[in-house]
Amino acid sequence: MLNRIFIALLVSVMLLFSSCGKEYFFSATTELPQQIWTYKNTPEFSVTIENTDAVYNLLLDITHRTDFPYQNIYLKFHATDPAGVQTVTIIPLNFANKAGVWYGDCDSEWCQLEGFLQKNLKLSTKGTYLFKLEQFMRIDDLSGIKAVGIKLEQQPS
């Protein structure tokens, strides 16, 4: 009897931990060659939206080295709606606080940072949206960036 209770408890805990983590409406990441983000390398992500009543959070996902030489970077975020209308936003992204402590989830070599590009986003037109991420630093070869991506999180209704 005690074995059955223990097994049931163990299975319940395993199911609980295996279901943890966020689920995203859309999630895609682009690995950068040789961990260098150049001006020419502008990852693109296509997202098809059918539900115009939903509200989303648009997140940036970036992986960088723990010895990355900058505390922050600047990005140009390009968004094109299904009608072809494009908006470009310059976004500063802090990797560390003023004391040099990295934000995000870090191990000995890499940090994965997730941050909001836009909260409470309402996409009013059905169709395919194109999002592009462009590094906007003063140097062409931004070394130490392993991957960049976006995630679209649908808020509960």
Q: Which of these, 55, 73, 48, lies nearest to 63 by C-alpha position?
A: 73
Provide the whole-model pTM.
Answer: 0.82
* Model pLDDT, residue 29: 97
The range of the structural domain enclosing residue 86 comes to 23-154
What are the counts of helices (DSSP H) followed by strands (DSSP E) for the chain? 1, 11
Confirm whether 13 is domain-assigned: no
Confirm whether 18 is domain-assigned: no
- How many domains does the chain fold into? 1
Confirm whether 28 is domain-assigned: yes
* Model pLDDT, residue 39: 93
Confirm whether 95 is domain-assigned: yes
Residue 54, pLDDT > 90, answer yes
Confirm whether 45 is domain-assigned: yes
| pLDDT band per the 50, 70, 90 thresholds, residue 130 | very high
CATH number of the domain to which 103 belongs: 2.60.120
**pLDDT > 70: percent of the chain:** 87
Q: What is the CA radius of gyration of the chain?
A: 19
Is beta strand 44-49 parallel, antiparallel or unpaired with respect to 127-135? Answer: antiparallel
Neighbours of 138 (CB within 10 A): 6
Confirm whether 43 is domain-assigned: yes
Calpha distance 87→81 (Å, rounded): 9
Average pLDDT, the chain: 88
Confirm whether 9 is domain-assigned: no
68-119 tens-digit pLDDT = 999 999 999 999 999 999 999 999 999 999 999 999 999 999 999 999 999 9
Confirm whether 8 is domain-assigned: no
